[in-house]
Amino acid sequence: MSEENRTRDGALKANIHVHSQLAKTGEYNKSPHFRPENQDKVRKIILRLLGDRKKGAETKAIDFGCGTGFIIHMIRDLFTEVHGVDITTDMMKQVDLSSGNVFLHESLAEKTKFADNTFDFATAYSFMDHLFNYRDFLKEAHRVLKPGGIFYSDLNPNRDFILAMGVANARKELSISPLVQREIQGALHNGQYYKENFGIDAKTLEDAEPGKSFEKGFSAEEVLSTAKSLGFSKCHVEFEWYLGQAKIMHEHSVKESEAVETYLNMVLPASAHLFKYLRFAFVK
């Protein structure tokens, strides 16, 4: 990896390039997180986090790194106003503004124009790994949230998982199942996948995901302690999408996949390296 591209500017340029390409070719909205079962899951998580708050009279939400509107479309019926922030215009062009309460801002998530204490709810879905420095972003999210406001971030690559795939990849004496091979590919050689499938330069893709390619994902403990140091209270992490979950869901049953998930959650943190992503919820 070259050091000169490990700059904030390098990450921003790579993000705009990669996401413009994916948006213009229509590939972005085919990402796995757009599948209906995941959309149902995310909506339920949001309702759980909001609890009774969703019934408030004047409520404002902000979605950082809103892209084509994955979260915006899911929450626009829950808030008086929903604001989306992103740096890639071609992604934002695909956000549906027809509800009349969605407002888009071409801006850095780390430095927005909003006043302190503006929002009741802040979201960052499939976003933090695209940042050069996630602490700067969390600081801004904390600033614009009202006291008591909720921050929700999801689909953050789990460092324990990426490191475990590195260990699996090095075990040359053992045969590696196709399932694990695919995960090794995704965790360690994602750039190559994008090159082969979307013609996006592997290095540019890596530069667009510094939190994944260079930092090797997020440490749950480190993010929690960063959030606390910024003034968030009630900082909570959940582990999600265990290795093989989609296969069990589709080839066996949802019930069986839930049983495995319950078991793996029961034996945390010993099983932490088997989960691909981290979900965070903080209260200001």
Ligand X SMILES: C[S@@+](CC[C@H](N)C(=O)[O-])C[C@H]1O[C@@H](n2cnc3c(N)ncnc32)[C@H](O)[C@@H]1O
Of 24 and 234, the one with the shorter C-beta distance to ligand X is 24
**AA identity, residue 158:** N
- Cβ neighbourhood burial of 62 (10 Å; 0-12, 13-18, 19+): buried
Question: In this structure, what DSSP letter does residue 32 have?
Answer: G
**109 near ligand X (CB under 6 A):** yes
Q: Give the whole-angstrom CA distance, residue 166 versus residue 233.
A: 34
Give the strand order in the sheet containing 233-242.
102-106, 81-86, 60-64, 119-125, 145-157, 275-283, 233-242
What is the smallest separation between the CB atom of 208 and ligand X, expressed in angstroms? 7
The answer to whether 1 touches 174, Cβ cutoff 8 Å, is: no
Q: How far is CA 269 from CA 131, 155, 204, 221, 275, in A?
A: 26, 18, 34, 11, 10
What is the smallest separation between the CB atom of 240 and ligand X, expressed in angstroms? 14
**131 near ligand X (CB under 6 A):** yes
Tokens of 33: 């997180």
The CA-based angle 130-155-8, given to 5 degrees, is 10
Tokens of 133: 């420095």
Of 176 and 238, the one with the shorter C-beta distance to ligand X is 238
Q: Is the peptide bond before 269 cis (omega within 30 degrees of 0)?
A: yes
Q: Of 59, 126, 153, 158, which one interacts with ligand X (CB under 6 A)?
A: 126
Q: Which residues within the stretch 65-104 sit at the binding site for ligand X (CB under 6 A)?
A: 65-67, 70-71, 85-88, 91
What is the smallest separation between the CB atom of 52 and ligand X, expressed in angstroms? 26
* Nearest residue (beta carbon) to ligand X: 67
The answer to whether 218 touches 129, Cβ cutoff 8 Å, is: yes
Q: Of 79, 119, 121, 127, which one interacts with ligand X (CB under 6 A)?
A: 127
Tokens of 81: 């106003």
Of 130 and 279, the one with the shorter C-beta distance to ligand X is 130
Size of site (CB under 6 A) for ligand X: 22
Q: Of 76, 130, 142, 284, which one interacts with ligand X (CB under 6 A)?
A: 130
Q: Which residues within the stretch 30-49 sit at the binding site for ligand X (CB under 6 A)?
A: 33
What is the smallest separation between the CB atom of 142 and ligand X, expressed in angstroms? 16
What is the smallest separation between the CB atom of 168 and ligand X, expressed in angstroms? 25
What is the smallest separation between the CB atom of 266 and ligand X, expressed in angstroms? 29
Q: Give the whole-angstrom CA distance, residue 48 versus residue 60.
A: 17
**125 near ligand X (CB under 6 A):** yes
What is the smallest separation between the CB atom of 44 and ligand X, expressed in angstroms? 16
Question: In this structure, what DSSP letter does residue 96 have?
Answer: -
Q: Which residues within the stretch 249-268 sit at the binding site for ligand X (CB under 6 A)?
A: none
What is the smallest separation between the CB atom of 214 and ligand X, expressed in angstroms? 14
**AA identity, residue 68:** T
Of 133 and 185, the one with the shorter C-beta distance to ligand X is 133
Binding site for ligand X (CB under 6 A): 12, 15, 19, 33, 65-67, 70-71, 85-88, 91, 108-110, 125-127, 130-131
